[in-house]
Amino acid sequence: MKTDDLISLLAADTTPVPRHASARRMLLALALSLPVSIAIMLIEYGPRRDLVEAMFWPMFWVKLMFPIAIAAAGFVLVQRLARPGVRGGLAWAALAVPVALVWAMAAMTWQMAPVAERPAMLWGTTWRTCALSIALMAAPVFVAALVALRGLAPTRPALAGSAAGALAGGAGAAVYAIHCVELAAPFLAVWYVAGIALPVALGALLGPRLLRW
């Protein structure tokens, strides 16, 4: 068989990939996994007792919205990197902006605070468990995102795995924020960012192993 005939035969039954297939697949993964993360928080931790009161505090919304912004940027990144040859583009900057903002807020708060109050602002009362708890909340979303990616065609598996980790870490931190009593910007800048960074790093490690095709 001639090469041209073989190519024509292989191409005869091809069908176009549905538009936004990667976005729909990632939305499905998120819809299935995020309730599991919320259930873990409710069963193992529980919401903070003063949640209704805390909702009137600006820092509560800072604590909630900055990981949501990271998760949103991670979602854009992961559904872009799920397609062959597509780059992350400006979504990488969108991923860095909320981290930079919370770091800037932490630096200003740190400088303005009396020296005696600074340790409590950094360590809080839950620093030993915060990052790992965020990673635990992120785990269902992380697994679902990787499973979804395996059914797509990422050509940069390490970056795609990192993006899946950012999506999961942001979602996990937002869920954990419903339980967490810490509100100081330095605490968020260190321990929340560390908790989000854990699945990002794990995704970079696992991506080349799990997402090759």
- pLDDT score at 19: 53
pLDDT at 23 over 90: no
Could you tell me where the DSSP H helices lie in 151-192? Answer: 157-177, 185-187
- pLDDT score at 163: 95
Whether residue 168 is contained in a domain is answered as yes
Distances 208 to 1, 75, 196, 203 between C-alpha atoms, Å: 36, 19, 20, 9
Whether residue 13 is contained in a domain is answered as no
Whether residue 55 is contained in a domain is answered as yes
pLDDT at 202 over 70: yes
Whether residue 10 is contained in a domain is answered as no
- pLDDT score at 151: 82
Whether residue 137 is contained in a domain is answered as yes
pTM for the whole thing?
0.89
Whether residue 167 is contained in a domain is answered as yes
Share of residues in the chain with pLDDT > 70 (%): 90
Average pLDDT over residues 70-83: 92
Count CB-CB contacts under 10 A for residue 29.
26
CA distance 203 to 143: 10
- pLDDT score at 58: 96
Q: How confident is the model at residue 18 (pLDDT cuts 50, 70, 90)?
A: low
Whether residue 6 is contained in a domain is answered as no
Q: Are 183 and 59 in contact (CB under 8 A)?
A: yes
3-state secondary structure of 19: coil
pLDDT at 65 over 70: yes
CA distance 182 to 63: 9
Question: 117 or 13, which is more confident?
Answer: 117
3-state DSSP percent of the chain in helix, strand and coil, to 5: 75, 0, 25
Distances 102 to 26, 53, 134, 174 between C-alpha atoms, Å: 27, 23, 17, 14
Average pLDDT over residues 179-196: 97
Residue 151: give the domain boundaries: 20-210
pLDDT at 38 over 60: yes
Per the prediction, the chain carries an average pLDDT of: 90
Whether residue 9 is contained in a domain is answered as no
Count CB-CB contacts under 10 A for residue 192.
28
Q: How confident is the model at residue 91 (pLDDT cuts 50, 70, 90)?
A: confident
Q: Determine whether 194 is exposed, middle or buried from the number of CB atoms within 10 Å of its CB (0-12, 13-18, 19+).
A: middle
- pLDDT score at 213: 67
Summarize pLDDT for 110-160 with one digit per residue, the tens. Answer: 999 999 999 999 999 999 999 999 999 999 999 999 999 988 878 889 999
Number of domains in the chain: 1
